[in-house]
């Protein structure tokens, strides 16, 4: 697993409110993953009670059979009482029918319960992932999380059913069998009693050995999935660099590791002593009985043990058969238990992996402020941010005030922190230092959903969902009308190409539908941002994959859209920069200069450098700041 377990970038900690997300009652999270799993299972107390009662009933009914068999063999057959024999046979058939009903109820309830547990755990994981910070999602691997949501929950399901039922059944069968044996022949039951501690000891050892191997197996499977997925999705890069041989070697190594774990685990799973113990006990009972019968020809045997006078009762053939049948009953559940334990341990391994993710702190979601009448002013005050504690600041002491309705362009070299700034505004990350105010209210105090719904973002890295184009556009506004969708698409210059598809707005995107070009995707993403009619609009270099002609059209449409909105444009497009009310030039996390295009082009050399290629620039002014002097200021004010 490649998950960071406890990275929180925020220093603003809330004392009273825990940042964890609880799906179940809080107390189930206080201990380990086992306890948490138990919490999910105990949601079904009623079902567990019925399952237990049914298992008990089933065993009670079963325990009659050996006695009937014993009697038939010892008494009824020798006495040739056919009528009683038939009655007994019918009785067994009747017992069988009753057991059919009872067992079905127990097993069906257990199955229903297991399915519910699986679903609830998946839902918990889903909801939990939604509350996780972006920091977490940046580090987590999709393949790994998917493996948890599918393979691991599936394993938990398989261990809950028939696990819950089998644990009860096995214990009850052992107790009931022992009582029945004791009733039938106390002496022979001693053999059984003596074997029990070993039985349980080896059961425990079996589980202990298999558990770490199960965890290894699950994470090894996840690793294989992740590698395979990467190879398939990165196929172009692999081919470009002739990486096939290396990829083959790497994959081969991973599956060989998995093979080794599977084999080792198979061996551990095969080495199942409890079933040997039951077999030996059964055989010993027969052997003991044979010796006892031989000895008892002389009469009851008296035995002197440490001054205790023991009388060993003689044994008849009927008792022998009862015993053998009883011991036979233990064989099945014991064999079955190996399989159940095997499953349960895989389930526990899955639970541990999932619990590990659940335990990572969720992002802080404090704040309830919802402002109705929004102006759209933004203020950064001494904001600093670093992705990891102690590492360099990606955003360094940034202060910036944006008035309502302003259009601010941010530009600067790659990695200067411009995209991070917009992420901070959306509270995808929390600033390490400083504060961000929207309409004078610290965004930490804002209701996070309200905050995000007034800010529209058109991202650099466009991600579309595999649904229709229409649904993608209306993603942020579920109740959007057809007209609104088309209007937004028109503004993003997407309407035309969408209509060129046979299914128009109903065209599926992605795996099941059309393959869109980078530019088309970006235009749909733009429409998705426009439809929200947000008070604050962030556009992050969103037109990079669109050709100039299309972009010129979009630009015209946007101009209308910008009216009455606060807009932050991350761009280096001259036309956008010219129209911006304010240009913020950033480098290495700092704001180097704020100003208007006409000023900057004449006085600020790094800005000027960008455009020297395109155009004849106005003459420099005397007080021009050069790159060198800029880096000096940056270095000096660290």
Partner 1 sequence: MSQAFGRAEKAYYDRDYSFGETVKRLWLFARSEKKMLFILLLAFAFNTGISIGVPLFLRVAIDEIAKTIGVNFTNVNLYGWFYLAGTIITWITMYLIIRIEWTIISRTVTKLRNDMFIQLQEHDLSFFDKNKTGRIMSRVVNDTWELGNFMLIFVEITVNFLNLVVMLVIMFVIEWRLTLGILIIAPFIFIVMGFMGYFLMKFSRESRLTVAAVNGAMQESIAGIAIAKNFAREAKNKQEFYDLNKTNLRANIKRGLTFSILFPIFDFIASAIIFIIIFQGARYVVNDAISIGDLYLFYMYSLNLMGPLIGVSQQVAQFQAGRASAERIFSILEVPSLMISGTKDLGEIKGQIEFKDVLFGYSDEKTLFDGISLFIPAGQNVAIVGHTGSGKTSLISILAHFYEIIGGEILIDGNNIRNLDIDKYRKHLGIVLQDPYLFSGNIKENILYGNPEATEMELEQAVSASHVTDFVEFLPEGLETDVGERGSKLSMGQRQLISMSRALIANPRILILDEATASVDAYTESLIQDGLEELFKNRTSIVIAHRLSTVIGADRILVFEEGKVVGDGTHTELMKHNKAYQELYKTYYEFQGVF
The interface with partner 1 within residues 601-630 (CB under 8 A) comprises 606, 609-615
* Helices 82-131/45-71 angle, 10° precision: 160
Nearer to partner 1, 119 or 499 (CB): 119
Taking CB under 8 A as the binding criterion, the range among 6-14, 41-49, 115-123, 207-215 that sits at the site for partner 1 is 115-123
Cβ at position 309, least distance to partner 1 in Å: 26
d(CA 453, CA 535): 9
Nearer to partner 1, 448 or 561 (CB): 448
Site for partner 1 in 448-467 (CB under 8 A): 448-450, 452-453, 455, 457, 459-461, 463, 465-466
Nearer to partner 1, 79 or 481 (CB): 79
d(CA 334, CA 174): 10
Q: Does 107 bind partner 1 (CB under 8 A)?
A: yes
Q: Does 104 bind partner 1 (CB under 8 A)?
A: yes
Cβ at position 595, least distance to partner 1 in Å: 16
8 Å CB contact between 66 and 21: no
Cβ at position 276, least distance to partner 1 in Å: 4
Options 56, 149, 301, 371; binder of partner 1; rule CB under 8 A = 149
State CA 413 to chain mean position distance.
Answer: 37
Taking CB under 8 A as the binding criterion, the range among 170-178, 238-246, 430-438, 481-489 that sits at the site for partner 1 is 238-246
Query: Residue 359: is it exposed, middle or buried by C-beta count within 10 angstroms (0-12/13-18/19+)?
Result: middle
Site for partner 1 in 337-396 (CB under 8 A): 387-388, 390-392
Query: Residue 605: is it exposed, middle or buried by C-beta count within 10 angstroms (0-12/13-18/19+)?
Result: middle
Cβ at position 15, least distance to partner 1 in Å: 25
d(CA 173, CA 166): 10
x/- map, 410-449, partner 1, by CB under 8 A: -xxxxxx--x------x-x-------------------xx
Nearer to partner 1, 2 or 581 (CB): 2
Q: Does 284 bind partner 1 (CB under 8 A)?
A: yes
216: closest CA among 398, 349, 404, 24? 349
Cβ at position 84, least distance to partner 1 in Å: 10
8 Å CB contact between 539 and 513: no
Nearer to partner 1, 401 or 572 (CB): 572
Nearer to partner 1, 17 or 244 (CB): 244
Cα dihedral 558/545/423/237 (nearest 10): 170
Q: Does 399 bind partner 1 (CB under 8 A)?
A: no
Structure token pair of residue 305: 């043990």
Cβ at position 25, least distance to partner 1 in Å: 20
Site for partner 1 in 19-78 (CB under 8 A): 65, 69, 72-73, 76-77
Options 41, 51, 63, 129; binder of partner 1; rule CB under 8 A = 129
Site for partner 1 in 286-305 (CB under 8 A): 286-287, 290-291, 293-294
Nearer to partner 1, 120 or 401 (CB): 120
37: closest CA among 111, 104, 145, 121? 121
8 Å CB contact between 162 and 110: yes
Nearer to partner 1, 382 or 466 (CB): 466
4: closest CA among 363, 420, 427, 356? 356
> In which residue are the tokens 């899955």 written?
350
274: closest CA among 345, 190, 330, 193? 330
Count Cβ neighbours within 10 Å for each residue of 79-103 and write b for 16 or more, e otherwise: eeeeeebeebeeeeeebeeebeebb
d(CA 439, CA 442): 8
Q: Does 183 bind partner 1 (CB under 8 A)?
A: no
Q: Does 326 bind partner 1 (CB under 8 A)?
A: no
Q: Does 196 bind partner 1 (CB under 8 A)?
A: no
Site for partner 1 in 535-574 (CB under 8 A): 541, 544-552, 555, 572-574
8 Å CB contact between 170 and 332: no
Options 175, 280, 310, 499; binder of partner 1; rule CB under 8 A = 280
Site for partner 1 in 507-536 (CB under 8 A): 511, 515, 517-520, 528, 532
Options 25, 233, 629, 633; binder of partner 1; rule CB under 8 A = 233
Structure token pair of residue 133: 């910070």
Cβ at position 568, least distance to partner 1 in Å: 14
Secondary structure (H, E, C), 472-532: HHCCCCCCCCHHHHHHHHHHCCCHHHHHCCCCHHHCEEHHHCECCCHHHHHHHHHHHHHCC
Contacts of 137 (CB under 8 A, 6+ apart): 129
Taking CB under 8 A as the binding criterion, the range among 6-14, 134-142, 191-199, 353-361 that sits at the site for partner 1 is 134-142
Q: Does 190 bind partner 1 (CB under 8 A)?
A: no
Residues pairing with 272 in the sheet: none
Options 34, 205, 248, 366; binder of partner 1; rule CB under 8 A = 248
Q: Does 99 bind partner 1 (CB under 8 A)?
A: yes
User: How many residues touch partner 1 (CB under 8 A)?
Assistant: 178
Using DSSP, state whether 461 is helix, strand or coil: coil
Cβ at position 181, least distance to partner 1 in Å: 18
Structure token pair of residue 441: 């209210």
Q: What's the residue count for the chain?
A: 638
Q: Does 407 bind partner 1 (CB under 8 A)?
A: no
Q: Does 114 bind partner 1 (CB under 8 A)?
A: yes
Count CA atoms closer than 13 A to 368's CA, side-chain side.
0
Nearer to partner 1, 215 or 532 (CB): 532
Nearer to partner 1, 27 or 253 (CB): 253
Q: Does 151 bind partner 1 (CB under 8 A)?
A: yes
Q: Does 224 bind partner 1 (CB under 8 A)?
A: yes
Cα dihedral 321/327/328/333 (nearest 10): 160
Q: Does 216 bind partner 1 (CB under 8 A)?
A: no
């Amino acid at each position: 697993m490649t998950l960071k377990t406890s990275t929180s970038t925020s220093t603003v900690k809330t004392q009273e409110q825990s940042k964890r997300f609880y799906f179940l009652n809080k107390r189930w999270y206080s201990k380990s993953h086992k306890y948490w799993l138990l919490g999910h299972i105990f949601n079904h107390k009623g079902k567990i009670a019925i399952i237990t009662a049914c298992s008990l009933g089933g065993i009670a009914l079963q325990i009659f059979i050996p006695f009937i068999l014993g009697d038939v063999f010892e008494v009824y057959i020798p006495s040739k009482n056919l009528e009683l024999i038939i009655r007994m046979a019918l009785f067994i058939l009747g017992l069988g029918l009753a057991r059919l009903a009872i067992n079905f109820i127990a097993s069906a309830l257990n199955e229903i319960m297991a399915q519910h547990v699986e679903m609830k755990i998946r839902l918990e994981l889903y909801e939990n992932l939604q509350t996780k910070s972006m920091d977490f999602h940046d580090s987590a691997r999709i393949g790994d999380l998917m493996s948890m949501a599918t393979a691991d929950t599936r394993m938990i399901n398989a261990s809950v059913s028939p696990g819950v039922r089998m644990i009860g059944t096995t214990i009850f069968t052992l107790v009931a069998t022992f009582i029945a044996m004791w009733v039938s022949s106390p002496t022979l039951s001693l053999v059984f009693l003596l074997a029990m501690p070993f039985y349980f000891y080896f059961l425990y050892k079996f589980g202990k050995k298999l558990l770490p191997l199960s965890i290894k197996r699950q994470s090894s499977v996840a690793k294989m999935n992740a590698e395979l997925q990467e190879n398939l999705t990165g196929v172009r890069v692999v081919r470009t660099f002739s990486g096939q041989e290396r990829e083959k070697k790497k994959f081969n190594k991973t599956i060989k590791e998995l093979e080794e774990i599977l084999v080792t685990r198979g061996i551990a799973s095969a080495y199942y002593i409890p079933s040997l113990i039951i077999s030996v006990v059964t055989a010993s009972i027969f052997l003991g009985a044979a010796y006892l019968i031989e000895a008892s020809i002389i009469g009851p045997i008296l035995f002197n043990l440490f001054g205790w006078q023991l009388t060993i009762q003689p044994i008849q053939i009927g008792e022998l058969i009862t015993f053998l049948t009883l011991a036979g009953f233990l064989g099945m559940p014991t064999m079955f238990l190996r399989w159940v334990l095997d499953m349960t341990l895989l389930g526990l391994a899955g639970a541990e992996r999932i619990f590990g993710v659940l335990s990572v702190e969720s992002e802080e979601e404090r704040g309830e402020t919802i402002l109705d009448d929004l102006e759209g002013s933004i203020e950064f005050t001494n904001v600093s941010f670093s992705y990891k504690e102690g590492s360099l600041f990606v955003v360094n002491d940034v202060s910036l005030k944006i008035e309502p309705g302003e259009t601010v362009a941010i530009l600067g070299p790659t990695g200067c922190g411009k995209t991070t700034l917009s992420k901070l505004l959306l509270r995808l990350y929390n600033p390490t230092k400083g504060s961000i105010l929207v309409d004078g209210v610290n965004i930490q105090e804002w209701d996070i959903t309200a905050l995000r719904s007034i800010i529209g973002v058109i991202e650099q890295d466009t991600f579309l969902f595999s649904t229709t184009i229409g649904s993608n556009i209306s993603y942020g506004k579920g109740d959007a009308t057809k007209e609104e969708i088309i209007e937004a698409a028109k503004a993003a210059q997407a309407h035309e190409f969408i209509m060129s598809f046979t299914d128009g707005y109903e065209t599926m995107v992605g795996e099941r539908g059309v393959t869109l070009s980078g530019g088309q995707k970006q235009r749909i993403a733009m429409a998705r941002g426009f439809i929200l009619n947000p008070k604050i609009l962030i556009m992050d270099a969103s037109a990079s994959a669109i050709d100039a002609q299309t972009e010129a059209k979009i630009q015209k449409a946007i101009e209308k859209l910008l009216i009455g909105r606060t807009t932050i444009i991350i761009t280096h497009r001259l036309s956008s920069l010219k129209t911006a009310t304010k240009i913020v030039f950033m480098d290495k996390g700092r704001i180097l200069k704020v100003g208007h295009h006409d000023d900057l082009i004449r006085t600020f050399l790094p800005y000027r450098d960008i455009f020297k290629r395109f155009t004849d620039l106005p003459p420099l002014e005397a007080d021009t700041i050069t790159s060198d002097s800029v880096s000096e200021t940056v270095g000096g004010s660290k």
